[in-house]
Amino acid sequence: MPLRVLGVDPGTLRTGWGVIERRGHTSTLCAAGVITAKGFHSLPERLRMIHAGLVEVITQWQPQVLSLEKAFLSYNVQSALRLGEARGVALLAASQAGLRIAEYNPTEIKTAVASYGRADKVQIQKAVFTHLGLSHGQQTTSLAASKDATDALAAALCHLNSSRFVEHIRLATAKEGRKTGQDAERMQLLRSAFQKRSMPRSVPTRGVPTRSVPTVLKVKG
């Protein structure tokens, strides 16, 4: 079953978003963009625009999961508060639509996408395009010009890569469990057969006291 993930890079002026679908081992870009507001808009108006934009994206693309960065501490308290408000709006839109929520810290996202926890935005962007199989020509589009959208796509890819890993472990564990169970069942059957056929039986002999003669079970190797 395909898994569709909405990645979001929240901000009160620019909120990047991107939807990626995973079928098997293939990740496909569905759409990506940026919800923008102007500095002269009041904060409540900006938050309303973010909410409305994300609701529209969710309605159109029907993702099952929202993936975004975890909240983090910042020396700039005002910026941290504004970012938290934008995150809250994104979480609200996703919750209203019944999406599952996945949150990752920045290092997790960078490592999952670029294999380096301190990758910069240019490295992240190149890694995202590589994961999605986008050609050099496609990289010159507005998507390539938007770091906000590619950061959102990186969050989505992080969840998809994590989901694939968890699914791989689950399937491997289930397969090993079935194999272990089958082996145990076969061993139990062999043990029961051996015990049954190895029980002593009486062999009457005229004039000679009866003695127990064990039956030897030959098991082919």
| pLDDT tens string 79-114 | 788 899 999 999 999 999 999 999 999 999 999 999
* Residues catalogued as catalytic: 9, 69, 148
Domain count, the chain: 1
Q: Is position 153 within any domain?
A: yes
Question: What's the whole-number average pLDDT of the chain?
Answer: 81
pLDDT band, residue 72 (cuts 50/70/90): confident
Q: How much is the pLDDT for 107?
A: 94
Taking residues 210-220, what's their average pLDDT? 41
Residue pair 43/12 in contact (Cβ under 8 Å)? The answer is yes
Q: Is position 107 within any domain?
A: yes
Q: Is position 190 within any domain?
A: no
Write out pLDDT tens, residues 112-128.
999 999 999 999 999 99
Q: Is position 178 within any domain?
A: no
Separation CA 145–CA 139 (nearest Å): 8
Separation CA 144–CA 23 (nearest Å): 24
Write out pLDDT tens, residues 17-33.
999 999 988 999 999 99
Task: Indicate whether 196 pLDDT > 80.
Answer: no
Q: Please give the residue range of the domain that contains residue 64.
A: 3-168
Q: How much is the pLDDT for 158?
A: 97
Cα of first residue to Cα of last residue in the chain, in angstroms, is: 43
Of 62-76, 107-121, 136-150, highest mean pLDDT:
107-121
CATH code, domain with 55: 3.30.420.10
Q: Say what the alpha-carbon torsion angle 144, 150, 156, 162 is, to the nearest 10 degrees.
A: 100
